[in-house]
Amino acid sequence: MNYTKISFKLNPDSEENREILVACLSDLTFESFDENEHFVMGYIPGESFDLNEINAITTTLPFSVHTENEMIPDQNWNEIWEKNYFKPLLIGGRCLVRAPFHAEYEPAEFELVIEPKMAFGTGNHETTTLVAEQILGMDLTGKTVLDMGCGTGILGMLASLKGAKSVTAIDIDTWSFESTVENARLNNILNIEAKLGDASLLGEEKYEIIFANIHKNVIINDLPVYESVLQPEGTLYLSGFYTHDMPDVKRKAESLKLREAGYHEKNNWVVYSFKKP
């Protein structure tokens, strides 16, 4: 399949502004996003897209965005990722994340095989690594787990390998939902239920552990829903934001009677945990 690549140049360009841009564009027809030193790149299947719809969003942002677009002919994406991007990743010295095509890697205590797509999250981002390291230190035997903003399903699958009884994995992005389904099947993990949508999907079911690795504004908005489905004495792990965002998150969490339980940070990104009395 051919793709349209739309490159976004931000001014001022910062990690936070990039996160805001991707969050605002995620409801459109983009299949995935990638970034380099100069641009955020969004990929749309096919050659038909509505630039006016995109501009209507980018012009409302509190920073300027210049866009460029180009057609990308169908390619062997697995070969491209194998050559240029996706290398085996060892998280916390215990969990190996690799693709099916990787032939050389050191065995690890836990192993997750991820089928790469065109633009793809492999667990390299600090927030995914931070939460995965927390999971590696947990005893999840028999626990019910919710993974919000599941992406490729790495965190939910690792929770399953750590003994979780059941995992519900939710993402608003179609590509992420389909990737989680495919990757769970690839790893023969049968106790993950993937859902396409947002926190409005949460209802009567209660969870002992919740991971939410999403943009700060989404987390603050959805915290009341997370609190409502978190079991008493359950723990909520929040990530996807910076250390300087912690006071805003803490203020909202404590307004819901959640108790601060600690945090870990890496390169100014943070995973922030709270317990429900």
Judged by DSSP in three states, 233 sits in strand
Q: What are the domain boundaries of the chain?
A: 3-74, 123-275
Q: What is the pLDDT of residue 203?
A: 86
Under the banding of pLDDT at 50, 70 and 90, the label for residue 70 is confident
CA dihedral 159, 212, 167, 137 (to 10 degrees): 20
Does domain 123-275 fall under CATH 3.40.50.150? My reply is yes
End-to-end CA distance of the chain: 51
Q: Are 175 and 201 in contact (CB under 8 A)?
A: no
Q: What is the pLDDT of residue 76?
A: 58
CA-nearest of 69, 152, 90 to 118 is 152
Strand positions, DSSP E, the chain: 3-11, 32-35, 40-45, 64-72, 89-91, 95-98, 110-113, 144-148, 166-171, 192-196, 207-213, 230-242, 259-266, 269-275
pLDDT of 44 higher than 90: no
Separation CA 77–CA 24 (nearest Å): 26
How large a percentage of the chain has pLDDT more than 70? Answer: 92
Over residues 39-54, mean pLDDT: 85
Q: What is the pLDDT of residue 1?
A: 61
pLDDT tens-digit series, residues 214-269: 888 889 999 999 999 999 999 999 998 889 899 999 999 999 999 999 999 988 88
Q: What is the pLDDT of residue 264?
A: 95
Q: What is the pLDDT of residue 77?
A: 58
Separation CA 98–CA 145 (nearest Å): 23
pLDDT tens-digit series, residues 83-104: 556 778 899 999 999 888 888 8
Identity of the highest mean pLDDT range in 178-182, 224-228, 268-272: 224-228
Q: Tell me whether domains 3-74 and 123-275 share a fold.
A: no
| Of residues 95 and 173, more confidently modeled | 95
Please name the fold of domain 3-74: Alpha-Beta Plaits (3.30.70)
For residue 258, what is the DSSP state? P
Share the mean pLDDT of the chain: 89
Under the banding of pLDDT at 50, 70 and 90, the label for residue 35 is confident
| Of residues 151 and 208, more confidently modeled | 208
Paired strand residues for 89: 97
pLDDT tens-digit series, residues 115-157: 866 444 566 678 889 999 999 999 999 999 999 999 889 999 9
Over residues 104-109, mean pLDDT: 88
Judged by DSSP in three states, 108 sits in coil
Separation CA 109–CA 84 (nearest Å): 26
CA-nearest of 166, 168, 188 to 177 is 168
Q: What is the pLDDT of residue 119?
A: 41
Q: Which of 39-48, 57-66, 203-212 has the lowest mean pLDDT?
A: 39-48
Q: What is the pLDDT of residue 118?
A: 46
- pTM, rounded to two decimals: 0.75
